[in-house]
């Protein structure tokens, strides 16, 4: 029996503002990331990209604005509730259990989602749930090209392999929408291109929507149809990727000069 897959969803952010004391980290940001496509969220360091992710997933409480998953407001719901609703994410800093195998790390994607349903799920899993987790992990590893590493210790892997384990874990979670925070960090050119092909396969085959925070502009060009640009917490540009890359406004945000992003 194949692990269940939820219907894909769209993510909407409207008027999002996040403050930390007197610092406004994100100011009145609105964006729409559709199902079945990769949408970029780019900008220089400190622009508010990860803070936007944290607000979407419930790790910080916004001062204003609303986040909707497929038209349903996420409101004051906890991160675990949002994960159960189908909103998954990765983090800037890779977090793998180095003493566990690759297969065990990947299976955590669905195991943690099932465990979030309550105390019973945190204490034990049914035979059916264990089978779902195993199947989801096997499929995700195969799609990411790391099935041959299933029995390897995560602590023995290269940076590129670890990034694929992280992605496979997110895919194993069967989320309806994914927020990926700089997932290609540390990868070389060939690894980044291969990573991009996996993302495109996920959107095309599963209809999953992805909001991608990324500094590698080659990857953004490869996978993103549309992109939003943040600078100092504000949305300064949005459009199809080619327009974004050619924009003087975007070049100024990155380079401090009136030049498009190379």
* All structural domains of the chain with their residue ranges: 11-97+175-255
pLDDT, tens digit, 9 for 90 and up, residues 133-188: 999 999 999 999 999 999 999 999 999 999 999 999 999 999 999 999 999 988 99
**Mean pLDDT score, 184-203:** 94
Q: Which of 222, 226, 248 is nearest to 236 (CA)?
A: 248
**Mean pLDDT score, 220-226:** 96
Q: Is the pTM of this model over 0.75?
A: yes
**Mean pLDDT score, 218-239:** 96
E strand intervals along the chain = 11-20, 23-33, 38-42, 64-69, 72-73, 87-89, 177-181, 209-213, 224-231, 234-240
Q: How far from 39 is each of 15, 51, 76, 172, 241, CA to CA, in Å? A: 18, 17, 25, 21, 9
Per-residue model confidence (pLDDT) at position 4: 47
73: β partners: 68
Name the CATH superfamily, with its identifier, for domain 11-97+175-255: P-loop containing nucleotide triphosphate hydrolases (3.40.50.300)
* Cβ atoms of 50 and 215 closer than 8 Å: no
The H-or-E segment that residue 221 falls in is: helix 217-223
Both tokens assigned to 126: 């049914």
Question: Cα(66)–Cα(55) distance, rounded to whole angstroms?
Answer: 9
**Mean pLDDT score, 104-132:** 72
Both tokens assigned to 133: 């987790």
* Cβ atoms of 138 and 147 closer than 8 Å: yes
**Mean pLDDT score, 192-202:** 96
* Cβ atoms of 89 and 180 closer than 8 Å: yes
Any alpha helices (H) in 116-188, and if so which ranges? 119-123, 127-143, 159-172
pLDDT, tens digit, 9 for 90 and up, residues 22-72: 899 999 999 999 999 999 999 999 999 999 999 999 999 999 999 999 999
Q: Between 127-143 and 189-206, two packed helices, what is the crossing angle to 10 degrees?
A: 130
Question: Cα(132)–Cα(137) distance, rounded to whole angstroms?
Answer: 9
């Amino acid at each position: 029996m194949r692990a269940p897959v939820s219907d894909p969803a769209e993510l909407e952010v409207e008027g999002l503002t996040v403050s930390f004391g007197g610092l406004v980290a994100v100011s009145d940001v609105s964006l729409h990331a559709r199902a079945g496509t990769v949408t970029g969220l780019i900008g220089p360091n400190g622009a508010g990209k990860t803070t936007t992710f944290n607000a979407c997933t419930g790790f910080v409480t916004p001062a204003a604005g609303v986040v909707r998953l497929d038209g349903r407001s996420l409101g004051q719901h906890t991160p675990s509730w949002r994960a159960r609703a189908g909103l998954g994410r990765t983090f800037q800093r890779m977090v793998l259990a180095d003493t566990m195998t690759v297969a065990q790390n990947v299976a955590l994607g669905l195991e943690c989602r099932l465990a979030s349903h309550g105390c019973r799920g945190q204490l034990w899993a049914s035979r059916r749930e264990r089978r779902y987790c195993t199947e989801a992990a096997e499929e995700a590893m195969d799609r990411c090209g790391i099935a041959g590493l299933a029995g390897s210790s995560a602590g023995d892997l290269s940076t590129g392999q670890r990034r694929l384990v992280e992605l496979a874990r997110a895919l194993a979670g069967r989320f309806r929408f994914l927020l990926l925070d700089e997932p290609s960090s540390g990868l070389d050119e060939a690894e980044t291109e291969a990573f991009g092909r996996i993302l495109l396969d996920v959107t095309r085959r599963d209809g999953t929507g992805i909001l991608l925070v990324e500094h590698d502009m080659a990857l953004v060009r490869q996978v993103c149809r549309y992109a939003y640009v943040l600078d100092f917490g504000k949305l300064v540009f949005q459009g199809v990727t080619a327009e974004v890359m050619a924009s003087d406004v975007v070049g100024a945000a990155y380079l401090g000069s009136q030049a498009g992003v190379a």
